[in-house]
């Protein structure tokens, strides 16, 4: 009886491994799924509140470029309300990218965490999206990841986010956030070569700590306040690219529009942190 059960288990395992999917359209995940390899996504993948999606090291999600609503932004997306665990490794990062021949920012929509029950991300690269990742109304831990060639690299609102040791570059906005009572820690990241390094859109009250980051070469603005950001914000202990700290010319705040709050950058570092560039290359 025992050998028979073992054989049955082996057959089951073999059948699992042989179930290979390389392409999905609109998909709802309400169970526990583990993906690896390459998957082309031609629609909206939604992980429901009951569902769980784990991406193994080296997984590549390739989002097709299509625009259902004609707003000029790609509509393929990964939308998570349940659990999302994406732990790559330095050698085998997880890649979320565009399937277009000539990829551009906004080819696909986003990785969107909305009231997600669990969100743990390490060594993930997200590129050519409208938002490399959006986090709303939930906790998320993001470490050693890379967000590049997106409109928004990392975007969050009303979230409890931990963003560490990651590299955000060549996005329109490196980080775009609406604090709205949320709390966050943004530490030891390199935020460089974006048009706007940090875009504080509205309702920021200093509950998100940005410290020990290298925030450099974001032009025209290292830090920009959005239209309704009336409170002052401090960005302490960061390296701004020179020993004199954050230059007023690279800030859009009260000095340009009296209705906005003022940006300060107390205790600027006098040398780079050399925040890691964890997943360069793919």
Partner 1 sequence: MMKVLRSVPVLLLLILCVANMAFSCVGKSIEIGTTGSVQQEVLANIIAELIGERTGTTVKVVSFKSSTEAHAALLKADIDMYVEYTGVGQTVILQAQPLADAAELYKAVKERYNQELNLIWLKPFGFDAAQSLGVTLPAEAAPVVRKDTLKKFPALARLINKLGGKIDQQTISSLEKEASNGQSKQVAHGFLKNNRLI
230 contributes a contact to partner 1 by CB under 8 A: no
Interface segment toward partner 1; rule CB under 8 A; list 33-41, 88-96, 206-214, 274-282:
33-41
Task: Decide whether 112 or 167 has the Cβ nearer to partner 1.
Answer: 112
User: Looking at 44, 186, 251, 263, which residue binds partner 1 (CB under 8 A)?
Assistant: 44
Q: How many residues bind partner 1 (CB under 8 A)?
A: 51
227 contributes a contact to partner 1 by CB under 8 A: yes
Cis peptide preceding 144, ω within 30 of 0: no
Spell out the residues 6+ positions from residue 21 whose beta carbon is closer than 8 angstroms to its own. Answer: 39
Cβ-contact 165, 143 below 8 angstroms: yes
The residues in 62-101 that bind partner 1, with binding defined as CB under 8 A, are 68-69, 71-73, 77, 79
Q: Pick from 120, 231, 238, 116: which is nearest to 175 by CA? A: 238
The residues in 137-196 that bind partner 1, with binding defined as CB under 8 A, are 152, 173, 176
Question: Per the structure block, which two tokens stand in for 82?
Answer: 């349940």
Question: Per the structure block, which two tokens stand in for 169?
Answer: 């570059």
Please give the backbone phi and psi of residue 248, each rounded to the nearest 5 degrees, phi first. Answer: -60, -30
Cβ-contact 73, 172 below 8 angstroms: no
Cβ-contact 29, 46 below 8 angstroms: yes
User: Looking at 7, 10, 32, 280, which residue binds partner 1 (CB under 8 A)?
Assistant: 32
For the residues of 110-124, what is the DSSP string, one character each? EEEEES-SEEEEESE
Please give the backbone phi and psi of residue 100, each rounded to the nearest 5 degrees, phi first. Answer: -70, 150
User: Looking at 7, 10, 11, 21, which residue binds partner 1 (CB under 8 A)?
Assistant: 21
- Least distance from C-beta 254 to partner 1, angstroms? 12
Task: Decide whether 79 or 123 has the Cβ nearer to partner 1.
Answer: 79
Q: Which residues bind partner 1 (CB under 8 A)?
A: 12, 15-17, 19-22, 24-39, 44, 46, 59, 68-69, 71-73, 77, 79, 109-110, 112, 130-131, 152, 173, 176, 199, 201, 220, 226-228, 252, 256, 259
């Amino acid at each position: 009886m025992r050998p028979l059960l073992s054989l049955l288990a082996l057959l089951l395992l073999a059948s699992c491994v042989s179930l290979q999917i390389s392409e999905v359209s609109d998909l709802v995940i309400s169970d526990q799924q583990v993906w690896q390899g390459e998957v082309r996504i031609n629609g909206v993948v939604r992980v429901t509140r009951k569902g769980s999606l784990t991406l193994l090291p080296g997984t590549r999600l390739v989002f097709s470029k299509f625009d259902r609503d004609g707003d000029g932004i790609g509509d393929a997306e990964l939308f998570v309300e349940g659990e999302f665990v994406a732990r790559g490794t330095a050698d085998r990062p997880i890649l979320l990218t565009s399937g277009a021949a000539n990829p551009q920012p906004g080819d696909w929509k986003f990785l969107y965490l909305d009231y997600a029950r669990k969100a743990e991300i390490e060594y993930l690269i997200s590129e050519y999206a409208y938002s490399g990742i959006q986090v709303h109304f939930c906790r998320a831990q993001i470490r050693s990841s890379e967000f590049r060639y997106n409109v928004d690299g990392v975007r969050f609102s009303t979230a409890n986010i931990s963003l560490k040791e990651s590299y955000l570059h060549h996005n329109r906005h490196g980080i775009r956030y609406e604090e709205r009572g949320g709390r966050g820690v943004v530490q030891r990241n390199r935020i460089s070569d974006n048009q706007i390094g940090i875009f504080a859109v509205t309702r920021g009250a200093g509950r998100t700590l940005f410290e020990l980051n290298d925030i450099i070469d974001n032009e025209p603005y290292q830090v920009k306040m959005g239209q309704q950001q009336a409170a002052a914000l401090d960005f302490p202990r960061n390296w701004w690219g020179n020993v004199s700290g954050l230059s007023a010319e690279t800030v859009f705040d009260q000095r340009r529009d009296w209705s906005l709050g003022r940006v300060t950058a107390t205790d600027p570092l006098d040398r780079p942190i050399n925040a890691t560039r964890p997943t360069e290359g793919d």
